[in-house]
Structures are given as C-alpha cells and as structure tokens.
Structure 1
C-alpha cells in the first residue's frame, strides 16, 4: 500500500504528521526525553523489531531531531542524542501526556508525572497564548492565513470561509 505524503501540504500540522505520524516515532522521542540514548535502550523499553527501530531512528536523524554519535569503535556503536530541534518537540509530548492523563489514565492516576526541577513541583503541560499567557481554548481561536500559505491556494482557502486574512 502506497503511503500518502503530506510533506508538501501548506499546513505544518500535516507536515509534522508526515514526519512523526506513525505509532513508534513519538514513543522513540518520549524515550529519548526520558534518557534513552542507545539502540538497546530503545529496543528493550519499546519492544519493537530491530528493523522498524532502525528505520525510525534513521528518519529522526535525517530530519534533524536526533544526532548519531559513536560511543564505541569495535564494533562501531552509536548513541542517539536529541538535537535542539528534537528537544523543542518536548512540549508536544508533554501536551499529549496532559491530554492522556485527563482522558486515558487509569483510576489510580497518571502513569508518569513530570517534575519541574526549577521550582521543585510536579506539573503538566498547558498551552497558553504567547501574548497574554491565557490558556488557549478552541472556542477562543480563529485560524488565519499566514505569510507561508501558498499564493496559488490563497483565494481557494479564503473562499471556503474557514480562514480570515492575516493583517
């Protein structure tokens, strides 16, 4: 079955799904945030096949979220370390955890708790407005076309009535 690519869509959500939208990739990143670095660490924790893990790790390296650093010469073995781009994905994982904790956690509570070492308190992700710091709620948001939206599609998108013009 041929996989549809969203890599060229004029939507960063679609492009992100194209890069990370399988079952294993977000879990590999989660494990990297928890401290996994070596192939065997990912394999033993996640229990996925070696060929799938190799494919996903290579994809994350190619995309710039992980870097591959040798830690042993004979035989050559590598660690996978988060790059700045990879570390910037942490809020997405934290937001997924917050949603999962709210709707999918067992009755006994959250399976993993995030602890903010700067203030020494447990925490959870909140998505807030970058201007006023109020929580973002769907009913308070409208989508507008940004400068990166392709000019060739602009009139079509505006015609649907779903988008406003960015001023």
Structure 2
C-alpha cells in the first residue's frame, strides 16, 4: 500500500472489474449538454420545446440527451398527450440531487472563468436575503473545508483504471456560447483523461512519470491534457532538480475542489456498487459529508431557498 504526497489518496491496487461510481457519474456529467439540460430542468423546464427555447441545441441532440438522462435515472419521461404523443421530462430524486454540483460549477465559473466573470446572474439566499457564494462544509462536523483538510483512500471498487469513464465524454466548441454555460469546467469534465489527470493532481501526484505509470495514460495524450490544464490556469509547472517538471494546482485549481467533492458524493450515492464505495473521504478523524452553506449566514443551502436575480432584479 502506498500513500501519495500532500494528504493524497491511499492506493491499495483494488481489482479491476469494471467502471465504478466515479466513472459512471463522470460519464453523464462530462457531457455539457447534459449539464445544461439539468440546469434548465432545475429552473422549471420540462417540455421539449421549452428546452429548445432555452438552449441553442438541435432537435436530434436534445432528443438524444433527454433519452440519456432518462436512461441514467436523472429524468423520468411522462406522456401527457396521446395524439400526437407529447411527453415531459421531470427531475427524479437522482436528478434533483445534482443541484449542489451545478451551484458549485456556476460559482466557480463566475469567480474564475475570465470570459464569463460577472456575467452570471446573482444568487440570493432567501433565508438571509443576501447574495452569496456557496461554501464547502463538512456536514459531519459543520466546519468549512478545503482540499488540504481532506484525506482520500480507495475503497473496494476504487482504482485509477476503474475511475476512467468508458467512453470519451463530449465537450462543446466555443461557438454560440452565452453567459451561464460551463466552458472552463468542461476543460476538466469534458474529456475522460482531463478529469482523471486533474483528480490525480488533487490526490498528490505531480511528476510526469508518475502520471504515466499510475494512470496508464499514453504519453502523447498526457502531454496534451497537461498543456490544456496549464493553458486554463488550473495547474502550474515547477522546474525541480535536474530539470524535472512538477505539476501543482494553482489557486484557481484549488478552488475547483467543491465541484469535485459534490460530484463524487453524488456519484457514490446514485451509482454505488454492492462491493462498496470507490473512494472514502476523511476530514480529520471522521467521514467527510460534503455540504454547501451560505457564506453570509452560514446556514445549509437548499435548492428551494436560492433565488436567481436577473439584471433587472439586482437593484431591488
């Protein structure tokens, strides 16, 4: 058994017997259209035409993504008219459970993605009446939590090979983007190897040769993924002794942790395997239960208590 540096993941080399909860969760959320449809569904969209009004998506792509989200259990298709057949798509408990992920993504994009900074609507917490940023808290002890407070260890279904999504996920081009989308998040989520490389850095891996040997990633793909993460400012490179290049998280990269924590927590809940979890998280001497609190009143956030203020409302 080996432990990575920087309070990283403990590697016990569990057997490889298929994709785990991490791989399955990223396989769904790694598609930007799926994220956009979930965001629209959380704001009340249920019908095909309404999704098309809100998003610049083709009918074929929309139908395919709605079918995927229904197959994965995040939406349920309910026919409300027979002739012609008309259906609506309603969030299931699994789908409703994605709101902390979407809120964490939205907040990170607003703070860190240069080309959308300040363009996203303000969020108001109706409990305290203040505009807010979500704060990652350990739900077990109620203490605000950052990456360096957390130690992760592979569970019975863990391991790098089991955590890579089976198929390459999809990332939209920059064409026809608008405020409220997730372009920089998809630099991580929108590519199967980017997500794994970013996860490895969070868990203490920093050397190029360690990425290659641990992740079993082809050298040309690894070089490309590292370059993209550097270009987006999520990583920095330090030149160590004998010219060795070490890759570390920037402040921007560190701030991505709430997205990772909420995503893996959601994935473990809804894609858990009978053999046990893919990863266990420890905060100090207890299990980490990721939760988002209001940074103004420090109360736990709930989806129904978050009001989205459009530009015309922000002076009210």
**TM-score relative to the length of structure 2:** 0.42
Distance 1:9 1:74 in 2: 41
Q: Is the Cα–Cα contact under 8 Å of residues 69 and 79 in structure 1 kept in the other structure?
A: yes
Q: SS of the residue aligned with 1:19?
A: helix
**TM-score relative to the length of structure 1:** 0.75
Higher strand share goes to which structure? 2
Which residue matches 1:141? 150
Would the alpha carbon gap of residues 23 and 79 (structure 1) be closer, same or farther in structure 2, given more than 3 Å must change? same
Distance 1:122 1:74 in 2: 46
Which residue matches 2:19? 9
Which residue matches 2:86? 77
Q: SS of the residue aligned with 1:37?
A: coil
Alpha-carbon offset, residue 119 of structure 1: 4.2
Q: SS of the residue aligned with 1:128?
A: strand
Q: How does 1:113-124 map to 2 (within 5 A)?
A: 113-124=122-133
Which residue matches 1:100? 109
Q: SS of the residue aligned with 2:80?
A: strand
Q: Is the Cα–Cα contact under 8 Å of residues 110 and 117 in structure 2 kept in the other structure?
A: no
Which runs of 5 or more residues in structure 1 are unaligned? 1-7, 154-159
Matched, 1:27 2:27: no
Q: Is the Cα–Cα contact under 8 Å of residues 69 and 75 in structure 2 kept in the other structure?
A: yes
1:51-89 CA distances to partner (integer Å, 9 max, x unpaired)?
Answer: 111111001111111111122222111111101111011
Which runs of 5 or more residues in structure 2 are unaligned? 1-17, 163-213, 215-278, 286-316
Matched, 1:86 2:79: no
Q: SS of the residue aligned with 2:151?
A: coil
Distance 1:41 1:113 in 2: 23
RMSD of aligned alpha carbons: 2.8
Larger mean Cα displacement after TM superposition, 57-66 or 109-118: 109-118
Would the alpha carbon gap of residues 86 and 107 (structure 1) be closer, same or farther in structure 2, given more than 3 Å must change? closer
Among residues 45, 51, 55, which one is paired with 2:60 in the alignment? 51
Would the alpha carbon gap of residues 113 and 72 (structure 1) be closer, same or farther in structure 2, given more than 3 Å must change? farther
Q: SS of the residue aligned with 2:79?
A: strand
1:83-105 CA distances to partner (integer Å, 9 max, x unpaired)?
Answer: 11110111000110111111126
Distance 2:49 2:97 in 1: 24
Q: Is the Cα–Cα contact under 8 Å of residues 46 and 90 in structure 2 kept in the other structure?
A: yes
Alpha-carbon offset, residue 20 of structure 1: 2.2
Q: Is the Cα–Cα contact under 8 Å of residues 30 and 93 in structure 1 kept in the other structure?
A: yes
Q: Is the Cα–Cα contact under 8 Å of residues 109 and 116 in structure 2 kept in the other structure?
A: no
Q: SS of the residue aligned with 2:136?
A: coil
Distance 1:73 1:66 in 2: 20
